[in-house]
Amino acid sequence: MITDLPRLLDALPAGTLPPGRLVTPEDGGPPPYWLSDGPAEPGRWASLRARHQETGLWPLVLSGLRSEENRPWVDGEVCPARMSSPDRHDPAELLARWWGGHGENPDGTEALAPLGVRWPGPADPGQPAGAPGEFADEYVDFLEDGQARLGLVPAARGADTLAVTGWTGPANFTNDSGELAAVVRSWEERFGARVVGLGFDILHLSVAAPPTSSEHALRVAAEHFAFCPDNVWQGSGTLAAYAEQIVGLNCWSFWWD
């Protein structure tokens, strides 16, 4: 799944990147990403994102664990060899399976109200409010906090970076980020989502076509809950409350405890 990253980097014009290095994963194998030595510079992410089709490299804003900033990106605390290809998974089947598992949790039934334990099915696509790339570029401004670094990943689309990097942030939920990548691919197509940044256990997406009605948002909220129940269990408490939070919201974040 990993392309020849050194070759892709060598093909970039001189001066495209700030000082940085390839990072070797802790389980061995070729480096799955390039990481800047210093904090991400304003405007650099957007420039690289705009050239993705040409370079084959997707940029990420990469942040570390607050108490141990070198984890996971500087230390290479990633396991790309363990991750499956997103091509192997049906996102609708994954969401339905995860939803069913959450409903078996003692805390699940109350959180699922008003939809109940039966999986409602995937939400309809949203109506784009603009170009996905423009929303992604705007969201980066909020993530570049003077500490987060710039990463480059050899991936055909942003969603695939979750698997290509070998990101293990959701390990308490799934050991295979290829599954999450399959769902994010679907969100790219239906909601104009773009992967902007990754933390130790946090995923940041920009969204060009969010739900704009309470009814639609409730169906999208169901997908979010299936994908990352902590957003509700340790956040709003119910799907209905969470749904109101994402109406018209152009950025989605997910956190796995």
Domain count, the chain: 1
Which one is predicted more confidently, 106 or 236? Answer: 236
Is 66 within the bounds of a domain? yes
Is 18 within the bounds of a domain? yes
Is 31 within the bounds of a domain? yes
Chain segment 78-92, per-residue pLDDT in tens: 999 999 999 999 999
Which one is predicted more confidently, 237 or 224? Answer: 224
> Is residue 42 reached through a cis peptide bond, with omega within 30 degrees of 0 on the bond before it?
no
Tell me if 9 sits within 8 A of 30, measured CB to CB.
no
Mode of pairing for the β-strands spanning 193-198 and 251-255:
unpaired
Whole-number percent of the chain with pLDDT over 90: 84
Chain segment 114-168, per-residue pLDDT in tens: 888 889 999 999 999 999 999 999 999 889 888 999 999 999 999 999 999 999 9
In terms of DSSP H, where are the helices of 27-154?
Answer: 44-50, 52-55, 91-103, 108-112, 132-143
Is 141 within the bounds of a domain? yes
Task: Report the C-alpha gap between 257 and 54 in whole angstroms.
Answer: 37
Is 51 within the bounds of a domain? yes
Q: At a CB cut-off of 8 Å and minimum separation 6, what does 68 contact?
A: none
The whole-chain average pLDDT of the chain stands at 94
The residue segments making up the domain with residue 193 are: 5-83+131-207+249-255
Is 226 within the bounds of a domain? no
Task: Report the C-alpha gap between 83 and 243 in whole angstroms.
Answer: 31
Closest alpha carbon to 181 in 87, 256, 246, 257: 87
Is 100 within the bounds of a domain? no
Is 140 within the bounds of a domain? yes
